[in-house]
Amino acid sequence: MSAIASKTAIKYHLNTDEIERYRQQGFLGPFTAFSQEEMTPYREIICDRVLTTPSPFSPYQTQMRHLDSQTIWQLCSTPAIVDRLVSLHSKDLVVRYSHLFDKPPAKPGQPQEEYPWHQDRWHSQLEQIESLGVWLAITPANLENGCVDLIPGTHTHAIKKVQNNNANFSGWFGGLCADPTAFNEADKISMVLQPGQFFLFDERILHHSNPNYSRERRIGLTFRATLPSVKLERSHPVILLSGSDRSSVNPLIPPPESDPHPLEASALPDAAHFSLEQRISGIGWHLAEQDNNIGFRWMSERRSWLDLSWQEEGEGRLTCQILHAVSPEVLQSLEIRVCDRPVSLSWSQSDRFVVVETSVTAETLQQYQGRVRVSFHIAQTLRFCDLYPDSSNDTRELGLAIHSVSLVRSG
């Protein structure tokens, strides 16, 4: 792998006033990287092929997609963004993280997706802040659909975080938000953006976004660029954005050359026996793990699903082996749906597993033509670090750990 990114002359310099403003405010923009027309095909690929497929490097389909989607990489590496990052920071830069913030329209009677006031430093273990943030609008981002709000100047100091049980606050923040007495919300600047526009921000800036009160989803791509010599806390690979990497402290991989594809029904794993350590076509799962040679995946969400190939006719018998549950209550709350229809479960215990079984009608199984979707629904996810504060630093949201799913013809 070449440790030198191909590069032409810098075209989109920031001037000294802009650099000074960035240093003082902790953010800068909006700038335009793409026209709205140019964004249309990018948005389609993101919605159809990226947000519908699992991320090979994260339990969340929204994260680290610059590593497996050429479209996401093209957006991150466009000169209008890279040149400005370079003129702010350094000519040697890698991308260490990306996240598609896909905010659905708020539904009446359900918690609304609001990102509380926070500093990204909370999530980052980097010793020094050597990290630049970019937020690029994939759809419009405005006051109605919850664009990002920022408080100028808050990047210079750490703001205390406090517990907040506001049901609207996104699970990404573990019930925490910035101490509301530590800043004045009236100072906020709202980043209203058209698709293709972006802003730059310091990872420590205090920011937030409201629920989406429009009828369309609001999608933004955010990523972090850092110096190649910053050793990352996780062993994720990085991709060179600009300049060269002489330090080799992180695994360096080349940019992706294609986009992921949801599997065709014929390419899906056979429903007769699917072990969750295999590549999964589905959403809401942590990366595969092993416990005493038994492969499994934890559910990362309250609804996790997978698709399997079903070429049979007639009724089927579905069996699922559950290896662990984050709590007995979470296990008891399990509902399974097959092709979006609830099924009634019978429960038993084998030596290692809790086994749930059900029969599924032929009509249900024929619904998706060759594909059967099995979805697991639980009342909540929990974190071991909250359940066992003295003995666990596992901060992942967890539900059930599933070992296998099997669907065979029964009639």
296 binding ligand AKG? (CB under 6 A): no
DSSP 106-145: P-TTS---BEEEE-GGGG---SS--EEEEEEESS-B-TTT
Shortest Å distance, C-beta 115 to ligand AKG: 4
Shortest Å distance, C-beta 156 to ligand AKG: 18
- For residue 210, which amino acid is it? N
Judged by CB under 6 A, which of 55, 98, 212, 222 binds ligand AKG?
222
Q: Distance between CA atoms of 299 and 326, rounded to whole angstroms?
A: 10
Total residues in contact with ligand AKG, by rule CB under 6 A: 9
Residue 113 CA neighbour count, 13 Å, CB half? 19
Q: Distance between CA atoms of 186 and 183, rounded to whole angstroms?
A: 9
Shortest Å distance, C-beta 153 to ligand AKG: 18
For residues 158 and 249, which CB has a smaller minimum distance to ligand AKG in the complex?
158
62 binding ligand AKG? (CB under 6 A): no
Q: Distance between CA atoms of 366 and 315, rounded to whole angstroms?
A: 10
Q: In whole angstroms, how large is the CA radius of gyration of the chain?
A: 23
Judged by CB under 6 A, which of 68, 83, 120, 397 binds ligand AKG?
120
220 binding ligand AKG? (CB under 6 A): yes
135 binding ligand AKG? (CB under 6 A): yes
Shortest Å distance, C-beta 148 to ligand AKG: 5
* For the chain, counts of helices (H) and of strands (E): 7, 24
| Contact indicator for 347, 355 with CB cutoff of 8 Å | yes
211 binding ligand AKG? (CB under 6 A): no
**Total residue length of the chain:** 411
207 binding ligand AKG? (CB under 6 A): yes
224 binding ligand AKG? (CB under 6 A): no
Q: Distance between CA atoms of 282 and 174, rounded to whole angstroms?
A: 24
- Please give the residues from 80 up to 109 whose contact with ligand AKG meets the rule CB under 6 A: 101
Judged by CB under 6 A, which of 115, 117, 310, 353 binds ligand AKG?
115
Which positions touch ligand AKG (CB under 6 A)?
A: 101, 115, 120, 135, 148, 207, 209, 220, 222
